[in-house]
Structure 1
């Protein structure tokens, strides 16, 4: 996800609502002042698109990059932790190597999350596409985390590797990278022409959770043809629901788990062009249009008017985006709020569901699930909760989110009253980290 610089204002007299009123309901705004947003015409997802929307796991907990808090992001440690912790989806950022391998990596270069400056000096600012997979495997993608997040540092995070998409798919299905007696990854077909591929094995420490994958494509100009490459790869690996002849069938005991449902793979992008291409290459697969403010029309929302939000929603509907992906406010990211109650109602009015990003505190979970309209009571504690307070508008579930990206799957599980009650550290210890 991106860091935002968004002015909290709408053109004219519209002022964004704020839910930061814990224990102070009298400070809530009069919704009647803002009801004219309901008069803005919106397109609505077709009946067929709504069927695809409903493939998505309800109340989804989406492990953002596996975790950016408990382990080095988008490494095996982060993804195995998120899987065993109980995430519904593993969120990844897709990029492609010089030799055509699809990777899970967020940044445009490798400076922040690897030791490239010492291993490949002078190349630290080159894009991922400038390197082969073999070159990238020489990098340590874990030690930086021990410096940046010392309170969660672990010796075993050293020399974590950049992950391929294929490896992430296998993590979701209960595998891990095979290691030798020294803890080093075992190379597949080792030799002078090694292609950078490691051996995989069934993870003896697997929890049995089978999450889906929530993958973000980057700007098409960076990786031309990635959308078609992705469709072909998913068909080959049994993850493309458009290819029933190759689709993975759930082993006994895994029936109904997310990785074996029609909602097993969700596509997301900030790029309009990529969304159009994804709809062409992977129709019928759930898609999320991520919401971002940018003056470039190539991004989602060029402007901050009410009409521009409606245009974003209509574009999403026209291209069968089943999910809106807006940011939320609050620490530590301090993103601007694109998940205000009236905004969520607009997304829902178009038939979309809302997966907001990124949840890092209990207060954020309570705010965007609407607890403060209900006397602080969560719907996960009481599905029959009643509105507490006098409002001049109808409080309803469409004002709130349907799932969220999080760096702390453990926190979301606790709030949702799910999981086995283990701490993040306990799961990491169980996995041998």
Structure 2
């Protein structure tokens, strides 16, 4: 990943040098230090996703980034949780059996902090809790591991969640400055409107566009005017796409890549980052 300020320079170089130079740069990247190891919801293959245990394990495994999911509670607290409802990974139905819905946004932080978010994964993680975005930052801010925060696409938030995240990071100027200096902070979203809203509010923080499908060239050219990353599903990614994204001055981080053969393939394509449930596969820790 890179700082947003580098994007325009990348575009000029690519336009002047053409596709051949982009392909050469891609090969050089793959042959040297390899892609960033981005721990998907923390080290979620070995610990319950998006908990402190998964974040801490990713740090121990020397992941370059932890990837988290940002949602908002009923009383405005930003929390790290993926699903739009909480039945899959918590005991919320047991603790609150009479509630009509189980969305994060329907509960206060004091209600959510009581949930067991670990037993579903393994009994060893009984009583692991949901954590806030502030908690995530506290766990990583004095480590080498950076943050890739995904703005939740859950429909109840609209674009306000992007503004909330921008405001929350603005309230942490020391952390943000240090993370950006080290190229260890970025935000991503499946929703282009959310991504653009965040970018408008925090233009210095790199912004990425998640995509389950292969983006068209027209989409890539339009996004290159303001986005820093294109982060597609690895199954739609090939050398042509990687080279085109680099030619347009953007980075590419692919998801979610767990099989060793797929990891080798993406590395050989020259992607900038690999989002994986098993970051130790890339860091060998």
Provide the residue aligned with 1:178 in structure 2: none
Is the CA contact (8 Å cut-off) linking 1:61 and 1:403 kept in structure 2? yes
Write the mapping of 1:33-182 to structure 2, written as runs, cut at 5 A.
46-47=8-9, 59-123=35-99, 125-146=101-122, 155=124, 157-174=125-142
Are 2:153 and 1:219 aligned? Answer: yes
Are 2:222 and 1:315 aligned? Answer: yes
> For 1:82 and 1:400, how far apart are their aligned partners in 2?
23
Distance 1:173 1:46, change over 3 A: closer
> For 2:218 and 2:180, how far apart are their aligned partners in 1?
34
**Offset at residue 222 of structure 1 (A):** 2.3
Are 2:279 and 1:409 aligned? Answer: yes
Greater Cα offset, 344-353 or 213-222: 213-222
Greater Cα offset, 98-107 or 226-235: 226-235
> For 2:200 and 2:139, how far apart are their aligned partners in 1?
28
RMSD (CA atoms): 2.4
Provide the residue aligned with 1:369 in structure 2: 267
Write the mapping of 1:261-272 to structure 2, written as runs, cut at 5 A.
261=181, 263-272=183-192
| TM-score normalised over the length of structure 1 | 0.56
Equivalent residue of 1:405, what SS? strand
> For 1:281 and 1:315, how far apart are their aligned partners in 2?
19
Q: What are the Cα deviations for residues 342-380 of structure 1, in whole angstroms up to 9, with x where unaligned?
A: 12122122111211112212211211222xxxxxxxxxx
Greater Cα offset, 261-270 or 217-226: 217-226
> For 2:98 and 2:282, how far apart are their aligned partners in 1?
41
Unaligned runs of 5+ in 1: 1-44, 52-56, 147-153, 175-208, 242-246, 249-258, 294-303, 329-336, 371-398, 415-421, 423-433
Q: Which structure has the larger Rg over C-alpha atoms?
A: 1
**Offset at residue 221 of structure 1 (A):** 4.6
2:250 to 349, 352, 368: 352
Is the CA contact (8 Å cut-off) linking 2:11 and 2:249 kept in structure 1? no
**Offset at residue 48 of structure 1 (A):** 8.2
> For 2:239 and 2:210, how far apart are their aligned partners in 1?
17
Is the CA contact (8 Å cut-off) linking 2:10 and 2:249 kept in structure 1? no
**Offset at residue 158 of structure 1 (A):** 0.3
> For 1:212 and 1:161, how far apart are their aligned partners in 2?
22
Unaligned runs of 5+ in 2: 1-6, 14-32
**Offset at residue 138 of structure 1 (A):** 1.3
Is the CA contact (8 Å cut-off) linking 1:109 and 1:124 kept in structure 2? no
Is the CA contact (8 Å cut-off) linking 2:231 and 2:255 kept in structure 1? yes
Provide the residue aligned with 1:254 in structure 2: none
| TM-score normalised over the length of structure 2 | 0.83
Provide the residue aligned with 2:167 in structure 1: 232
**Richer in strand (by share):** 2
Is the CA contact (8 Å cut-off) linking 1:327 and 1:338 kept in structure 2? yes
Is the CA contact (8 Å cut-off) linking 1:231 and 1:240 kept in structure 2? no
Provide the residue aligned with 1:324 in structure 2: 230
1:277 to 181, 197, 215: 197
Write the mapping of 1:417-432 to structure 2, written as runs, cut at 5 A.
422=285
Distance 1:222 1:262, change over 3 A: farther
Q: Alignment length, in residue pairs?
A: 259
**Offset at residue 118 of structure 1 (A):** 0.5
**Richer in helix (by share):** 2
> For 1:93 and 1:82, how far apart are their aligned partners in 2?
15
> For 2:98 and 2:249, how far apart are their aligned partners in 1?
49
**Offset at residue 220 of structure 1 (A):** 7.7
**Offset at residue 98 of structure 1 (A):** 0.5
